[in-house]
Amino acid sequence: MTAAPPLDPIGQSTMNTTRPLDWIRRQGPAFALDCAINIAAPLAIYHQTQGRWGDLNALLASSIPPLLWGIGSFLRTRRIDALSVLAVVGIGLSTVAFIGGGSAQMLQLREKLVTLIIGLAFLGSAAIGKPLIYPLARATMARQSQRALADFDAKGNDALVRHTVMVMTLVWGIGLLLDFALSAAMIYILSIEQYLVVGPIIGYAMIGGLMLWTILYRHYRTRYADAIRAQAKAFRSETSSGISDA
């Protein structure tokens, strides 16, 4: 069992697509440490304890480093916002997996419920017209600066912004459900030891792909919105000029 992948749907402070080498230099060591705790450590613990303790107990022991890592990360940031709430939900569900009993596969499947529940939360929020990306985006802006937050709030009722946020929310919800479905299938196809490697890779690949798509889509929508506003401004200018001439 591994910790849920990091979730930052906005991607504004996560990666600059124009400078990937800079991002690797800045975030590479942290990502390597994250992989060591969420992949290498669980695999090593399971491999060393499975023969003596059996599959279930060895799997429980292997889940301790990712779980402690998630708790420590939350305590270190001490943020109370939508993003931190999702992190707490993930930690809570991972903790519940410890006491649920059942087979090793059921233990791994319960841990993936974090992804399933968050994916359903995204889709549910879109269904009721309150897309979850909006509070997550607002939390990201608040951490950047008060000016960024004010600018974001000023555009909150813009139809173009609402459309962008809704599409992002739907894509993230569908992507997370796909991640859960793929992982659930792998749990029953692969051995426990194989899944301890493949499972986190699936999670990282899905979250990384969603983040990259979000950055590219946000850039596209920003350019599109700027073009629309420029056209509207030019039209108003031409209209005002025509009225003045008349």
Each residue's pLDDT, cut to its tens digit, for the chain (246 residues) gives 444 444 444 444 444 444 556 666 776 677 777 778 878 888 888 888 888 888 777 877 887 887 777 777 767 766 544 455 555 665 666 566 656 666 778 878 877 888 888 899 999 999 999 898 888 777 777 777 778 777 777 777 778 888 888 999 999 999 999 999 999 999 999 998 889 889 888 888 898 899 889 888 988 888 887 787 777 777 666 666 555 555
Given this model, what pLDDT does residue 127 score? 94
The residue assigned the tokens 């813009």 is: 158
Tell me how crowded residue 211 is: count the other CB atoms within 10 A of its CB. Answer: 20
Given this model, what pLDDT does residue 183 score? 92
Residue 90: burial class (beta carbons within 10 Å; 0-12, 13-18, 19+) = buried
Domain ranges for the chain, please list them: 20-232
Distance CA 3, CA 236 (A): 53
How far is CA 112 from each of CA 3, 62, 90, 156, 185, rounded to the nearest angstrom? 9, 15, 9, 33, 11
Q: Are 97 and 107 in contact (CB under 8 A)?
A: yes
Distance CA 87, CA 7 (A): 8
**Predicted model pTM:** 0.73
